[in-house]
Structure 1
Amino acid sequence: MDPDSKTTEYDVVIVGGGPVGLLMAYQLRRFGISACVLEQHEKETQDAYGRAIALFPRTTEQLDQLDLIEPMLQLGFACRTSVTYKDGERVIPGRVWTFMENIKDTAYDFTLVLRQMYTEAILREKLDSVGAPYYQGIECIDFKTEESAQSESHPVTSVFKDKKTGREFQLKSKYLVGADGGRSFVRGHAGIPFEGDTTEDKWIRIDGIVETDMPITRSYGAIESRTHGNILWAPLDHGATRIGYAYSAEIAARYPDGVTQEVAEREAIEAMKPFKVKFKEVHWWTLYTIGQRIAKDFSAHDRIFLCGDAAHTHSSGAAQGLNTGIHDAVNLAWKLALQIRGLARDDVLKTYSPERMSAVQRLISYDRDIATLMSHKWPSWYEGDRDADPYLLLGEIFEEAASFNTGLGIAYAANSINRESPVDGGVAPGSRPPDVELTAPGTNQKVRFQRVTRNMARFWIVVCTGDVELTRTSLLGLGKFLESAAELTAHEAIGWVTICPVVGCSPYEAIGMQPFGDTYYDPANLAHEKFGIDSRTGGVLILRPDGLIGTAGPIDGPWVKEYLSKVLKL
């Protein structure tokens, strides 16, 4: 980028080149939107390892749908088991991380552990492959929005400074996204309050190659200590391990000169007793203060948006930080893309902030409790026996929040794109449908539902046929309706898929007519059952581009058109 050149225009300018900013830009380019990323740090001089490590199932599903997951699977550690130790003895059943062992209805029935350094490198490579500009050492120092600008113009003017040369330049864009971390310049300059607090609790995280006599080492571990909190033992990529523990005031008093790597190692060794631990290599360590904060709004002036740590910060206790940021980016990207391309109605983009704020508020409420309990303290609301074991309550909270931790149970309330469904017992609008296995015509090969609907720039109309005789009239009626509704079959933001419980020599013969889009078989009625669709009468699901249910109903054209006309410009 030449600071002396004329002001450059983009659809979206993204401030912050961490994983969330990189993912935003990558998606937007895939969806046909011009975007660039500007990062104030030189990544080569930042901490090489550390930071976020855990990608939970819903996150990996989203990365799969964006064609990102394969290189991560090659490098990461797939963890499916957990272990809890207390006083050197294994606790059965375990506590805290046991939700990893009972993950259903997804191909990603594990936690993918991959240090952020590798995640970012993969995202930068992918970003380069789609031709999105990425710049380092560039700091955002100002921006302003022209309130009266036309919707198709570039009303945001942002000012950047090259930190090496000191030269300043401007960019114009339709939207500006702040993915610039907990100290976000974008959030502060937009005047969005960052509400919440910090505590007196501090934690240490230290990564490296270790030797230990602990019996089970390649499972996500919780080692229960009275002096160092609920100790995290996390197997990492490349044979490494992370140890995390509470750095209490009592421990800090032993080190009046502050914390060094030597101190971090020494206390990690102390924390793990009676197990022996030896660090062969230390890759990274940090000491940080626990707190929970959330932006009062995730958008400003309808042109400025916040994602990731710029919008919310919390402890690493439940390992949700990067996952939550990725969910922000996925939720926002398709809405921005459809808005910029002139395909979506304005109400669609306006759902970003309330949808993501609702999920983050739940996380922060939950995080306050687990962060306190992990430090071997009781939450302020607790009125039970203070001499009891707080780790028992910690385990209960993790168990109750299992579907939230995996991300598979995160759901959004009714709004302009999540419409109440008339299908009894179906998957609720705003929720994720199970990723069931279907059968491809001819080859009878298994194919996952999310693979069939993985184009995240479209609303998917999923026609689930039922008994051939019972549904023939409905299917013929839908086909007839679509003959005069080309806006539903030719629209670039609408895709069609047919799921049929009858296996035929061809899709045409299976349903007795031309199917709607590609057809896949559901011979065991598993998809119908999981989606809450009567296998006799069938039904229609409408998926949002991010794979969540928008609504559902009978096999009928008018209501499908009515729904789509309120979210898309038909």
Structure 2
Amino acid sequence: MSKVDVLLVGGGPVSLLLTSILVRSELKVLTVEQYDKFEQGHYGRACVLYPGSLEILELLGVYERIADIGFIIQGTKTFKDGAEINGRGWSFIDEALRNSDTMFKFWCPLNFYSFIVSQLSFGIRQKHLEDVLRDFISKIDTDVVKAPAKLLSYRIAESSEYPVIATIDERGHSREIQCKYLVGADGGRSTVRSLGNFPFPGTASPHKWIRLDAIVVTNMPSSRCAVIAIESKKYGNILWSPIDNGRTRLGFVCPDEISGDRGSKITEEVIMAVAKQALQPFTLEFVKLDWWTVYEIGQRVAETFKSGPVFLAGDAAHTHSSGAAQGMNTGIHDAVNLGWKLAGVLGGLYHEDVLDTYTSERRASAQRVIDIDRNVAAFISGHIPAHFGAPPNADANEYLDRVFSANAAFTVGLGVSYSINLINRAPTTDAAAKIGHRAPDGPVLRPGRRLAQPLRSLVRYTGRFWALVFAGILAPTPAADFRALRAHVDSTSPAPCEFLTLLAGPGCLQPAEALGAQPLGNAVYDPTGEVFAAYGVDGAVGGIVVVRPDGIISFKTTLDGVQDLVGYFAPLVRQQVGKRLEIPVQVPADGPIGGENNVEGGKE
């Protein structure tokens, strides 16, 4: 009987991304997928990544591998009866990004210093992301992903170190696998969810939608640069989105006259003919139809995402329409949330209680997606739910805009947040740097460099928390507080987190000389004060902000709050955080050390 740390069921982007997080932590992992993905390569499935997902993929080192494949969508338009309507349709994405600090505002350069922000999203079919993730995993371990291989059953042996015993069928041969944890990321018809009797309540919609990918020719303006909404009484709110390799994703309501008889009237020729009718008065010609589907819409969410050593993620945990392109994006947030927690617990870094926060955090987020989607799916289909109390003959597209706008930041992934819990503690009333919310970004300078770089590019995924040490404007008081923190860290082995030191100002002095001690981790300068302001830190006082491995702020204290920091990590980490600081720190009367009092060996 084979033994692994984690057995993952499913070969989609959620399972593969989670696998990539686990294998880089040198854990023993097996991922099984019941279909041969090479035969499935023409399938369309999900095709849009929002900035919040792209930030996660960059954090994990994956974005650079897909940057040259996907299509950068550079605007939005809405048409009705052939005329353009401003401020409708997908314009909510622009609203979410307009005042955001995300670096995923793709741009068109006018010259070296001037550019126009024009990005909305990133069009890439799911199969290309899967290919990249499989390649990423194979470079670490070539024997992790098995396909076709199907989960047949599993049982739990409570007293065992490897409590889950699963039976796998691989090309007609069955074998048993023992694992510490089992993750079902095997889609809406999840075998793991079914075998584990996870309650999966929800509702089904009477609407059917058509989705297709094709190479097409049209006279519709901006067809190869913008995501477009076409408002139609018969075909609902039609989606037009450029995606990778010259393809376009087209989606619309399936007319009743062709969806009857359980779809028996639907053929490839019928799909193309209906698409041409839906796009009128614009013309549409098909060069190559890659894929099409007709599907019913339902909204369901599992009552729990964790039952003992078994987890659900992605569509196995929640299903909904593709109306707001949330499937792959929500699943990516599931994967990184569960991934760093599983890797940390199995690696002996975090207490197992950390895993209990997965359900509370991700289920609340998924439930919000479901609640939004029930309304969005109805509006796109041309119907207004009764609870809106709309007057007769009201326009469903106007209500769609209201819901999209009200939830814009959440939909693009930049407004995903988590409540106070074991990890997210010490809530603050600050308007900036809120606990449980995404860590802000901003330009910082490394010593000796002329050009700034995003702060988040220096806070990459390592599986450990990051402590951002805002040393402040280097007057004697914050410098002394920093040196006390530095001495404490030197007395602690190993430290429970990674460090990055931020100094306010243009960086005229070398960090060690300015601080009077070696910086904690790398040092960067905030020349404009933008980053200090984004995190709500007073440069004259300084502060410490703890950021989770998935880029979420989890704790905040003052620069002299060494014991607050110790208290924060105590219930999270298994290794000793460090004893109380008892070494007296001598602070020179004339401020930061310089000249003959130079720093040597990282200590005073």
TM-score bracket for the superposition, by shorter chain length: over 0.9
Aligned-partner residue type, residue 246 of structure 2: G
Instruction: Give the secondary structure class of the aligned counterpart of 1:63.
Output: helix
Partner of 1:567: 572
Partner of 1:320: 326
Instruction: Give the secondary structure class of the aligned counterpart of 1:524.
Output: coil
Partner of 1:248: 255
Q: Which runs of 4 or more aligned residues in structure 1 lie more than 6 Å from their structure 2 counterparts after TM superposition?
A: none
- Per the TM alignment, residue 381 of structure 1 is displaced from its structure 2 partner at its CA by 0.9
Distance, in Å, in 1 between the alignment partners of 2:184 and 2:85 is 44
Partner of 1:117: 127
Instruction: Give the secondary structure class of the aligned counterpart of 1:424.
Output: coil
Q: Deviations over 1:325-372 (max 9, x none)?
A: 111110001100111111111221110011000000000000000000
1:512–1:422 Cα change, 3 Å? farther
Equivalent positions of 1:516-535 (< 5 A) are 516-535=520-539
Q: 2:546 aligns with which of 539, 542, 548?
A: 542
Distance, in Å, in 2 between the alignment partners of 1:257 and 1:145 is 43
Q: Deviations over 1:412-468 (max 9, x none)?
A: 000000012457333111100222111011123322211111034111111112222
Alpha carbon RMSD of aligned pairs, Å? 1.6
Please report the TM-score for the alignment, with normalisation by the length of structure 1.
0.94
1:270–1:385 Cα change, 3 Å? same
Determine whether 1:496 maps to 2:492.
Answer: no
Aligned-partner residue type, residue 411 of structure 2: N
Instruction: Give the secondary structure class of the aligned counterpart of 2:571.
Output: helix
Partner of 1:427: 433
Determine whether 1:156 maps to 2:164.
Answer: yes
Q: 2:219 aligns with which of 213, 221, 246?
A: 213
Aligned-partner residue type, residue 504 of structure 2: P
Equivalent positions of 1:248-287 (< 5 A) are 248-250=255-257, 252=259, 257-287=264-294
Contact 2:202 / 2:300 at 8 angstroms: preserved in 1? Answer: yes
Distance, in Å, in 1 between the alignment partners of 2:264 and 2:3 is 50
Partner of 2:13: 19
Contact 2:95 / 2:408 at 8 angstroms: preserved in 1? Answer: no
Comparing 406-415 with 429-438, greater Cα deviation is found at 429-438
Distance, in Å, in 2 between the alignment partners of 1:511 and 1:529 is 21
Q: Which runs of 5+ in 2 are unaligned?
A: 106-118, 577-604
Q: Deviations over 1:70-109 (max 9, x none)?
A: 1211110011311100110000123334414651211112
Aligned-partner residue type, residue 264 of structure 1: I
Comparing 211-220 with 471-480, greater Cα deviation is found at 471-480
- Per the TM alignment, residue 550 of structure 1 is displaced from its structure 2 partner at its CA by 0.7
Distance, in Å, in 1 between the alignment partners of 2:248 and 2:312 is 32
Q: Deviations over 1:17-52 (max 9, x none)?
A: 111111111110112211111110111222513100
Distance, in Å, in 2 between the alignment partners of 1:274 and 1:78 is 27
Q: 1:36 aligns with which of 8, 17, 30?
A: 30
Determine whether 1:136 maps to 2:139.
Answer: no
Contact 2:299 / 2:320 at 8 angstroms: preserved in 1? Answer: yes
Instruction: Give the secondary structure class of the aligned counterpart of 2:311.
Output: strand
Distance, in Å, in 1 between the alignment partners of 2:408 and 2:190 is 30
Q: 1:172 aligns with which of 161, 178, 186?
A: 178
Comparing 244-253 with 174-183, greater Cα deviation is found at 244-253
1:167–1:416 Cα change, 3 Å? same
**Number of aligned pairs?**
554
Equivalent positions of 1:283-298 (< 5 A) are 283-298=290-305
Partner of 1:476: 483
Percent of counterpart pairs with the same letter?
37
Instruction: Give the secondary structure class of the aligned counterpart of 2:399.
Output: helix
Instruction: Give the secondary structure class of the aligned counterpart of 2:252.
Output: strand
Distance, in Å, in 1 between the alignment partners of 2:152 and 2:422 is 36
1:255–1:194 Cα change, 3 Å? closer
Contact 1:96 / 1:394 at 8 angstroms: preserved in 2? Answer: no
Determine whether 1:355 maps to 2:365.
Answer: no
Distance, in Å, in 2 between the alignment partners of 1:124 and 1:475 is 43
Comparing 140-149 with 290-299, greater Cα deviation is found at 140-149
Contact 1:438 / 1:520 at 8 angstroms: preserved in 2? Answer: yes
1:137–1:481 Cα change, 3 Å? closer
Contact 1:206 / 1:265 at 8 angstroms: preserved in 2? Answer: no
Q: 1:105 aligns with which of 97, 101, 104?
A: 101
Contact 1:500 / 1:521 at 8 angstroms: preserved in 2? Answer: yes
Distance, in Å, in 2 between the alignment partners of 1:422 and 1:519 is 26
Q: 1:378 aligns with which of 376, 384, 391?
A: 384
Partner of 2:243: 236
Partner of 1:3: none
Instruction: Give the secondary structure class of the aligned counterpart of 1:237.
Output: coil
Q: 1:462 aligns with which of 468, 483, 489?
A: 468
Q: Deviations over 1:180-220 (max 9, x none)?
A: 11111101111101110211100001110111111121200
Contact 1:423 / 1:552 at 8 angstroms: preserved in 2? Answer: no
Partner of 2:48: 54
Distance, in Å, in 2 between the alignment partners of 1:337 and 1:545 is 11
- Per the TM alignment, residue 479 of structure 1 is displaced from its structure 2 partner at its CA by 2.7
Aligned-partner residue type, residue 87 of structure 1: D
Distance, in Å, in 2 between the alignment partners of 1:20 and 1:411 is 19
Distance, in Å, in 1 between the alignment partners of 2:264 and 2:2 is 49
Comparing 229-238 with 102-111, greater Cα deviation is found at 102-111
Partner of 2:591: none
- Per the TM alignment, residue 273 of structure 1 is displaced from its structure 2 partner at its CA by 0.7
Contact 2:473 / 2:503 at 8 angstroms: preserved in 1? Answer: no
Aligned-partner residue type, residue 44 of structure 1: F
